[in-house]
Copies of this chain bind each other. A is one copy, B any other.
């Protein structure tokens, strides 16, 4: 597997475009389109929130009933959630306008929206934008990057990742983009993410691969414990790499899953790192847990604790808050058996051993916590399983960004 520059346009036959539809933001692009020259196998995972945005309901239906799809049209600024029938109609109009300009069936167009909840999409602007997008498609790396920028809301940078790998002597490319950066606590799904590949694979196995990797990647990040109404991750596989179609869980499938997992992990980490107001990425790794499920619950408890997040923001090695978070996670364990570590490029410090402080160097601990990427390791010493979750610090800017988001 080799890392590549770019995102959704690196795979053979994929193009992207973006436009300024003036939906909510001014003087920036706010609509993007990802298109495969040929129909592609489609799979997706969506929010488990009871409240589902119009594009989520649309996407669930397509993934359930279609073998293939060919495009994803996305807008930022308005989430098209809690908009009832009028919202459903606006969503379908957006898909239909994109379909018309691409000369493909409407049900080959997936949709995604992100932004404020409870506001109706301006149908005229959204359909004009969707139509214009058809004429702006390009297969360059720059076009993929521009699309990743157009779907940003409070994100401070675009998120892209791409790789290539070999399947049966054929070079396969895979790339994706995603956006954060608030209302991030994916649950069996993820935030907006579009992944494209030229791999040939059956629809069933494409869905299996996506559902599998989502659990350890997008589902292991949290910015604010708020599971969004718009979580969507879709993947399109158009087969243009020319490999023999993967139809069983063999070595080729494993190679693909590894590549997909790598891309999703990188996108997920970048979403956590660019969490609203964040200054630091917090990686929480739990080792020697009694089970995989417990390892995940424990790892997530650490990165979702407001008190751990503020302590990391203040570079304060207040490890009592870490063990406290492990303690209320719901997992049973013996606290007098737990060791805690923090680590960064500046070094490693063992904060507590068997549940009691080690008398560590506060100076080095502060230095480690001042770095941009910090790993907290919790050694449960009660088994062989491990898991990693990613989050960010809680800062003044989180409060600032969210104190008056709508205006």
B residues within 8 A CB of A311? 402-403, 405
Please give, as numbers and ranges, the residues of chain B lying within 8 Å of A352 by CB-CB distance.
82, 118
Which of A118, A226, A332 is packed against the most chain B CB atoms within 10 Å? A118
Check B405–A84 contact: CB distance below 8 A. no
Query: Interface with B: A5-13, A43-51, A203-211, which one?
Result: A43-51
Are the CB atoms of B84 and A354 closer together than 8 Å?
Answer: yes
List of B residues within 8 angstroms of A318 by Cβ = 116-118, 405-406
- Residue A324 is within 8 A (CB to CB) of chain B in the complex: yes
Selected interface stretch from A16-24, A101-109, A390-398: A390-398
Report yes or no: A313 in contact with B399, Cβ–Cβ below 8 A.
yes
Interface assignment of A331: CB less than 8 Å from any CB of chain B: yes
Asked if A306 is at the interface of the complex by the 8 Å CB criterion, the answer is yes
Determine if A307 is an interface residue (Cβ-Cβ < 8 Å). Answer: yes
Tell me what chain A mostly uses at the interface: helix, strand, loop, or mixed.
Answer: loop
- A335 interface residue per 8 A CB criterion: yes
Q: Which residues of chain B have C-beta atoms less than 8 A from A81's C-beta?
A: 320, 324
Q: Which residues of B contact A357 (CB under 8 A)?
A: 82, 118-119
Chain B residues positioned under 8 Å from A228 (CB to CB): 324
Residue of B nearest to A83 (CB): B356
Tell me the complex Cα distance, A238–B13, Å: 82
Interface assignment of A225: CB less than 8 Å from any CB of chain B = yes
Candidates B84, B185, B323, B354; contact of A51 at CB < 8 Å: B323
Q: Which A residues between 374 and 407 are near B, CB-CB below 8 angstroms?
A: 394-396, 398-400, 402-407
Given A51-B324, A51-B327, verify A336-B402 contact (CB < 8 Å). Answer: no
In chain B, what residue has the closest Cβ to A324?
A: B229
The answer to whether B336 touches A117 (Cβ under 8 A) is no
Partner of A323, one of B82, B326, B356, B407: B82
Question: For A332, what are the chain B residues with a Cβ–Cβ distance below 8 Å?
Answer: 50
In the complex, what distance in Å separates the CA atom of A207 from the CA atom of B83? 49
Q: Complex: how many Å from CA A61 to CA B224?
A: 37
> When the two chains form their complex, are residues A305 and B226 in contact, meaning their CB atoms are under 8 A apart?
yes
Q: Specify how many copies of this chain sit in the oligomer.
A: 2
Q: In residues 115-143 of chain A, which contact B (Cβ within 8 Å)?
A: 116-119
Report if A182-B307 is in contact (Cβ < 8 Å); known contacts: A50-B328, A321-B226, A324-B49: yes
* CA A375 to CA B325, docked complex, whole Å: 29
Is A316 positioned at the interface, with any CB of B under 8 Å from its CB?
A: yes
Contact of A394 among B50, B83, B399 (CB under 8 A): B399
Q: Which residues of B contact A394 (CB under 8 A)?
A: 399
Min Cβ gap A327→B in Å is 3
Q: Which chain B positions have C-beta within 8 A of A116?
A: 318, 320
The 8 Å CB contact of A399, one of B396, B403, B404, is: B396
Roughly how many angstroms separate A17 CA and B394 CA in the complex, as a whole number? 39
Q: Interface readout for A278-321 with B: 1 if CB under 8 Å, 0 if not?
A: 00000000000000000000000000111100110110101111
Cβ-defined contact, B182 with A328, below 8 A: no
Give every chain B residue within 8 A of A49 (Cβ-Cβ): 324, 327-328
Q: Do B402 and A335 have beta carbons less than 8 Å apart?
A: no
Rounded to whole angstroms, the CA-CA distance of A118 and B407 in the bound complex is 43
B310 x A399 contact (CB < 8 A): yes
Taking a contact as CB atoms under 8 Å apart, the answer to whether B226 and A117 are in contact is no
Q: Are A310's CB and B398's CB within 8 A?
A: yes
Do A84 and B118 have beta carbons less than 8 Å apart? no
Chain A residues with CB under 8 Å of chain B are: 48-52, 79, 81-84, 86, 116-119, 182-183, 185, 187, 224-229, 304-307, 310-311, 313-314, 316, 318-321, 323-328, 331-333, 335-336, 352, 354-357, 394-396, 398-400, 402-407
12 contacts between A and B (CB under 8 A): A50-B333, A51-B323, A51-B326, A51-B328, A51-B355, A52-B335, A81-B324, A224-B307, A226-B307, A314-B405, A396-B396, A399-B399
